[in-house]
Amino acid sequence: MIAAVLSLTLLGAALGIGLGVAARRFAVEGNPMVDEVAALMPGSNCGQCGFPGCPGAAAAVVAGEAPPTLCPPGGKALAAALAEKLGIELDLSGVVDEGPKIALVAEEICIGCCRCIKVCPTDAILGAPKQIHNVIREACTGCGNCIERCPTEAMSMQPVPMTLQHWVWPKPAVA
Amino acid sequence: MTEILVLLITTALVNNVVLVKFLGLCPFMGVSRNVDSALGMGLATTFVITLASAATWMLEHWLLAPLGLGYLRILTFILVIAATVQFVELVVKKASPGLYQALGIYLPLITTNCAVLGIALLNVQEKSSFAVSIAYGFGSALGFTLVLLIFAGLRERLALARVPAAFTGAPVGFVLAGLLSLAFMGFAGLNFK
Amino acid sequence: MGLMEKIFGAGWGIHPADRKRPAADIPLRRIATPSHLYVPLQQHIGAPARPVVLVGQKVAKGQLLAEAQGATSAAIHAPRSGTIVSVGDITAPHASGLPVAGIAIEWDGEDRWHEPDDLPADPFALAPEDIGRRVAAAGIVGLGGAAFPSALKLNLGKRSGIHTLILNGGECEPYLSCDDRLMRDFARETVEGIRLMLHATGAREALVGIEDNKPEAIAAMTAAAAPFGEVQVRPVPARYPMGSEKHLFSTLTGKEVPADGRTTDLGVLVHNVGTAYAVQQAIRLGRPLVERIVTLNGGAWHAPGNCVVPVGMLVADIVTAVGLKQDPARLIMGGPMMGTQLPGTFVPVVKGTSGLLALTADEAAAGEAQPCIRCSSCVRACPVGLLPLEMAARIRTDDYAGAVDLGLKDCIACGCCAWVCPAHIPLVQYFGHAKGELAARDRAKLRTDATKRLVAARAERLEREAKEKAEAAARRKAERAAQKAAEAAAAAATADRTTEES
């Protein structure tokens, strides 16, 4: 009886100490995966995914709490990149990529209040007090933060029109 | 020497731990979606099985048998295996975060991989010598890795095939595993005499 | 070239029935100019040209309508004299049917060329750079189909040590005969254009590769090139896709272009024979590229043949002028293998239009796609040595990276695989889709990177502003403190004075 208790205790203690030493030796600061995943994300911290900024979203994706398709501005391309990074099987056929959208100012309603400018994560809105604002198309990420801030509903999200340069052959339908 | 060599072949092929003895099916189905993570899983399991074979032999012959503590066998073996797996997990997490992410829950689950405990217990049952125990463990692990790699390769091809909707995913994977098992049963005809 | 290829001949490619005659043998016609022309601003690879004319302005034939902008672009000229009616969108000659910006001209009924200002007396006395400049000003693009601005390729010559020029007269696509007709009817001009190109690039010799199913063109070109030793006509076996620059190159030189390389890496520049003719017209006569020979072929046309068509003429107007026997099952711009199925007839002819095929239902018959039986016919046919069936299987399951690993980027979209496929699988469409999808992902990646830079810039701005604000506040505080101190000192001084006075 004593032999059994003693041997198990000793064995457990020895293995525990060994593992403790190994844990020190192979300690990893944070989760390197999270940093790698965060590097893939747009980094605009727009909050459309419902997580606190891109680092938060990255942590959630790595932890498996969110699907790789969580990022609307990143679209299909980001989803595929994330899935590959995390080794997750991803069925993109179900994902409806509505295509990129960008904000547009209705110039006849804009009162030049500058509220949207303050929330734009990429400084994509050009304007000054009492001047009609405008969106720099190339810089807009389509996060939609400005929409709710506009007191006159002059901001709206519009799909980026399809051009010859962006057109992609549709995938052949499988018979 | 010949005995060890024959033992390696018989454990890896003839008595394959997965396809003939049907042990360790959980990682076999779970981590065989691509060859890279299958190889990682195979290597991790090989390390654990080989090390556990040696450690359990020592435990059995130097601790349990002399003290007549045979009833503690499973308990102590699991303890050693769990510690080894924890160690592997720490190393993998440090060395290859990508592989760590890809293996996910299946890495700690090596602890409960019945192939690992099974081999340790079979070694005791067969009253094998130390060298034979290690060869038995290493050969079985080799067989496990081989089968995992073959199966992952086949599943990569299978992903390209047009499978009827009802069979997509796991069902056709099981059909494939069955066929592969049939193929490995063929090694039973090998005669070393 | 391996031993097998020496004994059995090159294994790549296919031999479709060429169907070039009788259209190729009918003399060249000029087509009546329609009342309106619609000239797209982007008829080339690269950035669209920028319009330099106003609505209502009168332009002469060959006058500049839009100038090149950016490094890769080409100028656009008025195909006929007339009045600019509008600058707006027109349907692009593209399978998508999307609009492209363009200029509409109402023809004034005259045929008056814009007067060129500085015609050289002897074009061969021009500096090579000057030829490149004039070619760029004439808006000449590669007429073989890709429509890459030619001047860029010519200017490349000096820099990358081009020693040989290959003139592509392969015209391997079935039905098409516009290059054939050009070489038969304008052999002298074409040879002069080739010599001008040699002069511009500094290359020592020019090889004109012509498929052996065009004996008349070979004869005409050989005769025209006879006085000039540096221009050699080389018949090549008829085989699709002989007109691909890499394949013509390896057939003529026996070398192979590396997978991620170009012929220019090996000191060889490839141009279309049509481009040579356009260069001659631009340098000798100062005429920009405003019209071209277009093959009208296919069972549905009333009178197949080759026509000189102004750029910007609507397909609908050509249909009216030439006439259709029946409604075509398919209307294709370019060749049947690599051409574009047109979304309608309200589409203009562009610089890169080699043919307009009106195919009857018999000619266009396409079977329904069936499952792949892994017969590997496509592997044997692929001129680049890829595995089309494997690539398509990966693309079907969205494994684009896997397809790229198998060499998707080397696919030249020639259509051999789809042509031989007994299961009628639209392989080329798979590859076109995957290439587009990958390009879209690359763009998204660039966009994400740009967003990151913008976010960093904003963070930096906010920090700077906060700092400036803090500094300003500190300054004001200091000023106020100083003022207060001064006031206190003054008060104290007054107090002192008052005490002294009292």
Quote ipTM for the complex: 0.77
| Total tally of structural domains belonging to chain C | 2
State the distance between the two ends of chain A, measured CA to CA, in whole angstroms. Answer: 71
- Position C423 in a domain: yes
Residues C330 and C400 in one domain: no
Residue in A8, A11, A26 nearest the CB of B90: A26
Contact B159 C399 (CB under 8 A): yes
Average pLDDT of the residues in C215-229? 93
Looking at the complex, does the CB of residue B159 fall below 8 Å from at least one CB of chain C?
Answer: yes
Could you give the C-alpha distances from C185 to B153, C26, C143, in angstroms and in order?
Answer: 60, 11, 17
Residues C212 and C305 in one domain: yes
Beta carbons of C254 and C182 less than 8 angstroms apart: no
Contact C436 A169 (CB under 8 A): yes
CA atoms within 13 A on the CB side of C285: 14
- Position C380 in a domain: yes
Q: Whole-angstrom Cα distance, residue A68 to residue A41?
A: 11
Interface list for B 117-156 with A (CB within 8 A) = none
Which candidate in C373, C417, C429, C448 is best for mutational testing of the A interface (most A CBs within 10 A)? Answer: C448
pLDDT band for C319, please (50, 70, 90 cuts). very high
By C-alpha distance, the chain A residue nearest B72 is: A4
For C180, counting Cβ atoms within 10 Å of its Cβ (0-12 exposed, 13-18 middle, 19+ buried), the class is buried
Q: What percent of chain A has pLDDT over 70?
A: 92
Could you give the C-alpha distances from C54 to A48, C65, C90, C399, in angstroms and in order?
Answer: 45, 9, 17, 49
**Is C239's pLDDT higher than 50?**
yes
Looking at the complex, does the CB of residue B69 fall below 8 Å from at least one CB of chain A?
Answer: yes
- Alpha-carbon C412 to chain mean position: 14
| Weakest-pLDDT range from A31-45, B66-80, C181-195, C334-348 | A31-45
User: Which residue ranges does chain A devote to CATH 1.10.15.40?
Assistant: 32-89
> Which stretches of chain B score pLDDT less than 70?
192-193
Q: Whole-angstrom Cα distance, residue B12 to residue B25?
A: 16
Residues C311 and C448 in one domain: no
Q: What is the pLDDT of residues C99-109, one digit of tens each?
A: 999 999 999 98
Q: Which CATH number does A32-89 carry?
A: 1.10.15.40
Residues C460 and C331 in one domain: no
CA atoms within 13 A on the CB side of B56: 37
Looking at the complex, does the CB of residue C46 fall below 8 Å from at least one CB of chain A?
Answer: no
pLDDT for residue A7: 84
- Position C358 in a domain: no
Contact A4 B86 (CB under 8 A): no
Residues C308 and C376 in one domain: no
- Chain C residues lying within 8 Å of B161, measured CB to CB: 393
pLDDT band for A44, please (50, 70, 90 cuts). confident
pLDDT for residue B128: 84
| Weakest-pLDDT range from A156-170, C188-202, C238-252, C376-390 | A156-170
**Is A98's pLDDT higher than 70?**
no
By C-alpha distance, the chain A residue nearest C94 is: A164
Using an 8 Å CB-CB cutoff, list residues of chain C that contact chain B.
371, 390, 393-394, 396-397, 399
Mean pLDDT of chain C: 89
Q: Whole-angstrom Cα distance, residue C130 to residue C120?
A: 11
pLDDT band for C114, please (50, 70, 90 cuts). confident
Residues C202 and C297 in one domain: yes
Q: What percent of chain C has pLDDT over 90?
A: 59
Q: Whole-angstrom Cα distance, residue A105 to residue A107?
A: 6
The residue assigned the tokens 């740009």 is: C450
Q: What is the pLDDT of residues B83-116, one digit of tens each?
A: 999 988 888 888 888 788 778 788 888 888 888 8
Average pLDDT of the residues in A108-131? 87
**Is A118's pLDDT higher than 90?**
no
By C-alpha distance, the chain A residue nearest B70 is: A4
Q: Whole-angstrom Cα distance, residue C196 to residue C114?
A: 23
Structure tokens at C213: 């199913």
Q: What is the CATH number of the domain that holds C251?
A: 3.40.50.11540
Buried b (16+ CB within 10 A) or exposed e, A137-172: eebbbbbbbbeeebeeebbeeeeeeeeeebbbbebb
- Position C131 in a domain: yes
- Chain A residues lying within 8 Å of C389, measured CB to CB: none
Bond preceding residue C22 cis, omega within 30 of 0? yes
Got the DSSP string for C464-498? HHHHHHHHHHHHHHHHHHHHHHHHHHHHHHHHHHH
Residues C401 and C476 in one domain: yes
Looking at the complex, does the CB of residue C369 fall below 8 Å from at least one CB of chain A?
Answer: yes
Structure tokens at C409: 């980027």
pLDDT for residue C500: 60
- Position C408 in a domain: yes
Residues C331 and C382 in one domain: no
| Weakest-pLDDT range from A6-20, A43-57, C16-30, C323-337 | A43-57
Q: Pinpoint the alpha helices (H) of C244-314.
A: 245-253, 273-285
- Position C65 in a domain: no
Average pLDDT of the residues in C23-49? 91
Q: Whole-angstrom Cα distance, residue B162 to residue B180?
A: 20
Q: Whole-angstrom Cα distance, residue C114 to residue C135?
A: 16
- Chain B residues lying within 8 Å of C397, measured CB to CB: 159-160
- Alpha-carbon B14 to chain mean position: 14
Beta strands in C122-228 (DSSP E): 164-169, 205-211
Looking at the complex, does the CB of residue B186 fall below 8 Å from at least one CB of chain A?
Answer: no
Contact A175 C433 (CB under 8 A): no
Q: What percent of chain C has pLDDT over 70?
A: 97
User: Which residue ranges does chain A devote to CATH 3.30.70.20?
Assistant: 101-159
Query: Which sequence spans correspond to the domains of chain B?
Result: 33-172
Interface list for A 120-159 with B (CB within 8 A) = none
Q: What is the pLDDT of residues C421-457, one digit of tens each?
A: 999 999 999 999 999 989 988 888 888 888 888 888 8
Average pLDDT of the residues in C24-39? 92
pLDDT for residue C55: 94
- Chain A residues lying within 8 Å of C430, measured CB to CB: 171-172
Neighbours of chain B (3+ CB pairs under 8 A): A, C
Beta carbons of A104 and C474 less than 8 angstroms apart: no
Q: Which CATH number does A101-159 carry?
A: 3.30.70.20
**Is A122's pLDDT higher than 70?**
yes
**Is C1's pLDDT higher than 50?**
no
DSSP letter at B63? I
Domain with C435 in it? 372-494
**Is C502's pLDDT higher than 60?**
no
3-class DSSP state of C444: helix
Residues C311 and C164 in one domain: yes
- Alpha-carbon B73 to chain mean position: 20
